[in-house]
Amino acid sequence: MVGTPLLAENAEGQKLSREEIVELLSGATLYGVYTDGRPDWAEQTAVTGELYDATDEWHDVGRWGTSGDLACYTYWRTMYQYCFDVYENDGQFYFYIPGTDELIAYTYRIDRDEMM
């Protein structure tokens, strides 16, 4: 596991608004860690709303967007929508179950130069 996850209640960063989520995540390739031990992940949140798996030759895996101040991801495989409170701290993102301090995943690297 890379880095130390923060609990929302102790986060030094800020909870992002809808506008900040769109501005900061659009077009970014995020590399992260799940807190439950699943393998690391890498996804691109394209400006157009597509979601690409950066570990699988840029395979289109779903859509992303916002609902209120939540970042939401719908994966073609499950057709289920997952939404998260997003916090930013020192340039990295932390994804929490909405309204809780349960951290699901966090980034350790963000690239903005590998646009689809």
Neighbour count for residue 10 (Cβ, 10 Å) = 7
Residue 89 has pLDDT above 70, yes or no: yes
What is the percentage of the chain residues whose pLDDT exceeds 70?
Answer: 84
pLDDT in the model for residue 11: 55
Residue 4 has pLDDT above 60, yes or no: no
Alpha-carbon gap, residue 64 to 47, rounded angstroms: 9
Tens digits of residue pLDDT in 38-63: 999 999 999 999 999 888 677 889 99
The whole-chain average pLDDT of the chain stands at 87
pLDDT in the model for residue 40: 92
CB-hemisphere CA count at 13 Å for 69? 11
Instruction: Give the amino acid at 83.
Output: C
Transcribe 16-49 into DSSP letters.
Answer: PPHHHHHHHHTTEEEEEEETTSPPPEEEEE-TTS
pLDDT in the model for residue 112: 86
Local structure of 101: helix, strand or coil: coil
Q: State the pTM of this model.
A: 0.85
Residues linked to residue 81 through DSSP beta bridges, in sequence order: 74
